[in-house]
A and B are shown apart, each in its own frame.
Chain A
Amino acid sequence: MPEVIADRRHLHGLQATMLSDQQLTVTDKFGLRNEGFHSAPGSEEAEALPVPATLLINKLGKVVWMDLSADYQRRSDPSVVLAAMEAHFDITDD
């Protein structure tokens, strides 16, 4: 929910754009809807949830790396994502 994102943004210290996807329209475009059991906080009336995923997209708009978590209690380790960015992105040219 947009207002929750704005409210809690400071907790994450994030500079990134955070988008809400309550209806899972973006999630479905990426095919990342979790078809298994899911648990949503009781206050959020989500019917389903996305699978935690991290994707790297190059300048041509192509997926160059991705990591799907098979388990919602686990996320991509930041060091793994950083290593993938170094391998797949030429940081100097952006």
Chain B
Amino acid sequence: MIAIKTGTKIALLAAVIAAATARYWFYLAAEVALPADRTGFVIVFLGAAALGVYALIKRTTWLGAIPAIFAIVVGAFLPFTVSISTQIVERDSVIKVGDAMPQFTSIDGHGQAFDSLSLTDHLVLIKFFRAHW
């Protein structure tokens, strides 16, 4: 029977908490359902990171350090993204309800030129987004 160090057990617990919470986070992100108030997430992630640090303090083997470091990285990174997620637009230049839609041209997914004049006389929904989730 191999004795598992306490530090390793704590590291594994921290990694499981970090992985399960991150999995749920990305599931909600894919569903466009991340809550506006993510305090609960931040607490759990930071808790997992703290457990990871605690595991390293309690001493573990080099193998046990892997889940500990995983928990620290995941647990610290997602709260960091929350802290920088606020957007700022220049109030003077941003388009407003009642404004005319600016005319624009671009390239579509087939590499074809697109001109917003082709939208004239149509009801249009425009979405600006920044990534594939």
Mark A residues whose CB is within 8 Å of B: 2-3, 5-6, 8-9, 11-12, 16-21, 25-41, 49-59, 61-66, 68-78, 81, 85, 89, 91, 94
Whether A53 lies near B127 (C-beta < 8 A) is yes
> Could you name 14 residue pairs across A and B whose Cβ atoms are closer than 8 Å?
A2-B109, A30-B128, A40-B130, A52-B128, A52-B129, A52-B130, A55-B126, A59-B120, A63-B96, A70-B87, A71-B36, A73-B82, A74-B85, A78-B32
- Interchain Cβ contacts within 8 Å, total number: 164
Question: B87: which of A40, A51, A59 is its contact (CB, 8 Å)?
Answer: A51
Shortest Cβ distance from residue B126 to the other chain A in the assembled complex, whole angstroms: 5
Interface of B, secondary structure class, is loop
- Which of B10-18, B46-54, B56-64, B97-105 lies at the interface with chain A? B97-105
Alpha-carbon distance between A37 and B86 when the two chains are bound, in angstroms? 8
Alpha-carbon distance between A51 and B86 when the two chains are bound, in angstroms? 10
Alpha-carbon distance between A14 and B123 when the two chains are bound, in angstroms? 17
